Chain A
Amino acid sequence: MANKVIVETNINGDPVELLCEPRQSLLEVLRDVLELTGSKEGCLTGDCGACTVVIDGRPVCSCLMLGVEATGKKITTIEGLAAGASLHVLQQKFLENASLQCGICTPGFLMSAKALLDRNPNPTEAEIRYSLAGNLCRCTGYDKIVRAVTDAAAAMAGRGRPAHGTVPSETASGMAGEMLAKGEVK
């Protein structure tokens, strides 16, 4: 059954009118209808983050959203990150830090990192790790990714490369967890 509908949205700064089936996820629409294949299909359950795009400033798993829900939204995909041949500083820092091996997770990591830096240009390492926690990488061990985002934030702020090497201690979850960690309650 192909009851296709028209969706008017904005992708990477351009108004887009597209035709899709209501059952198609945004990820399917991006990849199969618009041939924007930079967003990757990983788990299809919202666990791995490989399909992350930024919608109205927030990171979203495009596999867990219908294409029709994109109506009226502003979407940034990995294809919108570089300006022509000029890489985004995040992409540049991922290359410099060798923050990828197989590369499948990289577009998702870059979009989560972009959503973070757009909101918080000077994140702590803990904030970077928290913001990237919805993206899984089975190759790098994450440290090089965290370094790249730290470097990108520093470069965007016109600072030099900061010292590295601190890994935050394990903490319990949430605000109550923070109180536990600080020893405010037993």
Chain B
Amino acid sequence: MHAINYEAPKSLDEAVKLLAAHGEKARPLSGGTDLLIQLRAGTRRPEFVVDIKEIPELARISFSLQHGLKLGAAVPCIAIHENGDMRKYYPGLTEAAHLIGSLQIQSRATVGGNLCNGSPAADTTPALVALGAQARLAGPKGERIVPVDGFCLAPGRTVLQPGELLVELQIPAPERHASDAYLRFIPRNEMDIAVVGVGAALSLDVSDDRVVEARIGLGAVGPTPIFAAEASKSLIGKTLDAAAIERAAKLAVAAATPIDDMRGTAEFRRHVVGVLTRRTLAIAAERARAANQR
């Protein structure tokens, strides 16, 4: 690995100043499970590595039913799974975080890093897209908030500008009968890169099982994670029956733009998008019916 300079600022201000001073020569370090591999392989060669884990604001999970969730960019995946609010209110995002790698990896890897790394197959990004998450960024020109849908531009490329840093992910509080789910297909039991990943979030009117809100996120079936807008829209106002789920699954398949690669063919991936869309919708619906959170 090439020589680097390491800084571990204790405040967001300090981190922003450091990153601004070094621009493209700097890279934030969170769990390091992607960055250290990239440094070793020489695919990223920052001169300055800015460790963001010492910044209290970035290292915390803050949740209330009034204000929703603020998930710090440096929170390790294992802390999400160990958090009762996360398991209760965002089970889909929690299961996505708990699917990434081994316990060794989950002890370090972060949802923020998963997003900023920009992999089309990131497990937590479709779950974030389904929840309508927003990313709070801080940089030399100040702060801005951007939707996670659209955050990734191409494999390994995101909207982050040189010197800009992900501070936290913001997710609205769930409605009374709302929940989410994430499933991925891999050819093994555990610890692999998604061939297809699907996240779904639903809010229901349980008096007649009508869908109030629906969002479906797709992973590993395009150059970036995908928000399946038509599929999501098709559910809103409808009773969540088999026909509605089938229609949404077909529209989700149509939204996917997969390629053939070593993990699977485009044709197989399209098929799996349909299967996982049906399943995640069914699981999210079951959870949403059981939820009673206000």
Residues of A within 8 A of B107 (CB): 55, 58-60
- Contact partner of A133 among B4, B95, B183, B191, CB < 8 A? B191
Instruction: Give the docked Cα–Cα distance between A21 and B101 (Å).
Output: 28
A 1-21 binary contact with B (CB < 8 Å = 1; else 0): 111010000000000000001
Name B77-126 residues within 8 Å CB distance of A.
78, 91-92, 94-96, 98-99, 101-105, 107-108
Instruction: Give the docked Cα–Cα distance between A52 and B102 (Å).
Output: 11
Q: How many residues of B contact A (CB 8 A)?
A: 46
Name A17-32 residues within 8 Å CB distance of B.
21-23, 25
Q: Is B5 an interface residue (CB 8 A)?
A: yes
CB-based contact B105/A61 at 8 Å? yes
CB-based contact A66/B104 at 8 Å? no
CB-based contact B78/A65 at 8 Å? no
CB-based contact B102/A177 at 8 Å? no
Name A47-61 residues within 8 Å CB distance of B.
49, 52, 55, 58-61
A176/B105 contact (C-beta < 8 A), A66-B6, A133-B191 known: no
Chain A nearest CB from B282 CB (Å) reads 4
Instruction: Give the docked Cα–Cα distance between A172 and B40 (Å).
Output: 33
Output the nearest chain A residue to B98 by Cβ-Cβ distance. A174
Chain A nearest CB from B286 CB (Å) reads 6
Residues of B within 8 A of A170 (CB): 189
Residues of A within 8 A of B183 (CB): 172-174, 176-177, 180
CB-based contact B191/A64 at 8 Å? no
CB-based contact B32/A64 at 8 Å? yes
Output the nearest chain A residue to B281 by Cβ-Cβ distance. A185
A176/B280 contact (C-beta < 8 A), A3-B5, A22-B6, A64-B36 known: yes
Q: Is B158 an interface residue (CB 8 A)?
A: no
CB-based contact A173/B184 at 8 Å? yes
Q: Is A38 an interface residue (CB 8 A)?
A: no
Instruction: Give the docked Cα–Cα distance between A64 and B110 (Å).
Output: 13
Instruction: Give the docked Cα–Cα distance between A104 and B63 (Å).
Output: 43
Residues of A within 8 A of B37 (CB): 44-46, 64
A179/B99 contact (C-beta < 8 A), A46-B33, A60-B107, A69-B51 known: no
Nearest first, the 5 closest Cβ-Cβ pairs linking A and B are: A134-B102, A22-B6, A174-B95, A58-B107, A1-B3
Chain B residues in the interface with A (C-beta under 8 A): 1-6, 8, 29, 31-33, 36-37, 39-40, 49, 51, 53, 78, 91-92, 94-96, 98-99, 101-105, 107-108, 181-184, 186, 189-191, 279-280, 282-283, 286
A64-B104, A69-B32 given. 18 additional CB < 8 A pairs?
Answer: A5-B6, A21-B3, A23-B2, A46-B104, A59-B104, A60-B108, A64-B31, A64-B33, A64-B36, A65-B32, A66-B32, A66-B51, A174-B99, A174-B182, A175-B98, A176-B92, A185-B282, A186-B282
